[in-house]
Structure 1
Amino acid sequence: MQTENVVKHIVNWLKEYATSSKMDGFVVGISGGIDSAVTSALCAKTGMRTLCVEMPIQQSMNQVNRGKEHIEKLQKKHANVSSIEVNLTPVFETFKTQIPTNKMSPLLNLTLANTRARLRMTTLYYFAGLHRYLVVGTGNKVEDFGVGFFTKYGDGGVDISPIADLMKSEVFQLGSHLNISESILKAKPTDGLFGDDRSDEDQLGASYDELEWAMKMDQKGSEISNFSGREQLVFSIYKNLNSANQHKMNPIPVCKIPLNFKK
């Protein structure tokens, strides 16, 4: 990959989109992970106002510290970068007291995890509305178009997606080129939505490198029967996730009313 050219292309794309939209800058949620670090660094390079928002909800201190380290580094390099922390833990805990909670449901933890993501989305749009900023998505190609590993109207609720055409491995290449902190480059990818140390690989059942391979094989028209052993398992995981999450990746279904019904 021509890393320098990719960086310049994305930075120009961001600047042109914001300018044509008559918006004044960008807002990015910072998680302490590689995707948000690279995305915010790219926004910062536009020279336009870039607001980095930390939104901990019972967050691991490792993630919090990585996020703070990244923001401090970014602010030293770019005068257009500002930051704010919004502790959403009290909001999340209050929310839980106001809704009926079925502790027997096997979907409770996942539902609450998605709620965290949606609280963060609401927070980002609050700041976007205040400052005429664009909410910038941090999803990569495997997550957004391969396995659908994002929360609908959570981290999937954004205005623009500058790295969504890049595989996770390519995002890491950009991270190295942009001099992202080693602590982030070496950290296991995690969405941090469950309040524990589970990684993305723990949730998905395969690494991003494996899922990238499976996505490429799927695009070539491969079938599960073409593989055996670990490759067959990974390809099966990819196909199952891709199928189950089409509702996230496809446009919202609209019920079309026959014209004669409207007469």
Structure 2
Amino acid sequence: MQTEKVVHHIVKWLKDYALNAKVNGFVVGISGGIDSAVTSTLCAKTGLEVLCLEMPIHQATSHVTRAQEHLAQLKANYNNVSDLRTDLTPVFEEFKTEVSLDGEQAIVDMALANTRARLRMTTLYYYAGLKKLLVAGTGNKIEDFGVGFYTKYGDGGVDLSPIADLLKSEVYELAEILNVPESIMKAAPSDGLFGDARSDEDQIGASYPELEWAMKMVEEHKTESDFEDRQKEVFKIYKRLNTANKHKMNPIPICMIPNNLKQ
């Protein structure tokens, strides 16, 4: 990949889109992870206003520390970047008092995890409206179009997606030349939705390099019978998640009414 040219291309795309939309810049949710670090840096390079939001909800200390390290570095290098911290923990706890928490614990935990993401989306759009900004998404290609590893109308609710055509490995390539802090580069990817430091691999059952391999195999029209052992297992994980999460990737289905019924 021609990394520097890719950076230039994304930055120009972001700036052109914002100027055409007649907005002031971008708002980005900062998590302490690689995707939000790269996205916020790309937005900063446009020279337009960039608001970085920390939105902790019982956040793991390691995530908070990495996010703050990134923000300090970003603000030191770009005078168009500002940041705010909105602690959503009280909001989340109040929400829990108003809904039923009955049911299988794993299902309740997942519903609450997705609620965290949706509370953050609401906060991003609040500030976007307040300051005339666009919400910049932080999803990469394998998450958004491979396994659907994001929350519908949560971190999937954005105005534009600057890195959604980049695999996770390619995001790391950009991170290197964008001087993303080493602590973020080395950290295990995590969605941070459960209040602990569990990694994406813990949840998915496969690493991003493995998932990228599986995505390529699907594109080459390979089938499960072509593989054995770990490769077969990873291929099955990818196919299962890709199928289960199509509802996130495809347009919302619309019930089309026949013209004769409208007359």
Question: TM-score, normalising length from structure 2?
Answer: 0.99
2-side partners of 1:134 and 1:202: how far apart? 32
Alignment of 1:30-179 (within 5 A): 30-179=30-179
- Structure 2 residue aligned with 1:10: 10
* Secondary structure class of the residue paired with 2:163: coil
Structure 2: give runs of 5+ residues left out of the alignment.
none
- Tell me which stretches of 4 or more aligned residues in structure 1 moved more than 4 Å: none
Q: Output the amino acid matched with 2:95.
A: F
Cα distance in 1 between the residues matched to 2:234 and 2:100:
37
* Number of equivalences: 263
Q: Deviations over 1:17-42 (max 9, x none)?
A: 00111111000000000000000000
> In the alignment, residue 135 of structure 2 is paired with which amino acid?
V
One-letter code of the match for 1:143?
A: E
Distance in structure 2 (CA, Å) of the matches to 1:107 and 1:124: 26
Runs of 5+ unmatched residues, structure 1: none
For 1:105 and 1:29, locate their aligned partners in 2 and report how far apart those are by CA, in whole Å: 28
Identical pairs, percent: 64
Tell me the distance in 1 between the aligned counterparts of 2:188 and 2:101: 31
Would you say 1:259 and 2:240 are equivalent positions? no
Cα distance in 2 for partners of 1:218, 1:125 equals: 36
Q: Does 1:248 align with 2:248?
A: yes
Structure 2: distance between partners of 1:257 and 1:50: 43
* Native 8 Å contact 2:62 2:197 kept in 1: no
Amino acid at match of 2:187: A
Instruction: For 1:13 and 1:56, locate their aligned partners in 2 and report how far apart those are by CA, in whole Å.
Output: 30
In the alignment, the residues of structure 2 paired with residue 58 and residue 197 of structure 1 have an alpha-carbon distance, to the nearest angstrom, of 11
The aligned amino acid for 1:81 is V
Q: CA RMSD in A?
A: 0.7
Deviation, structure 1 residue 186: 0.2
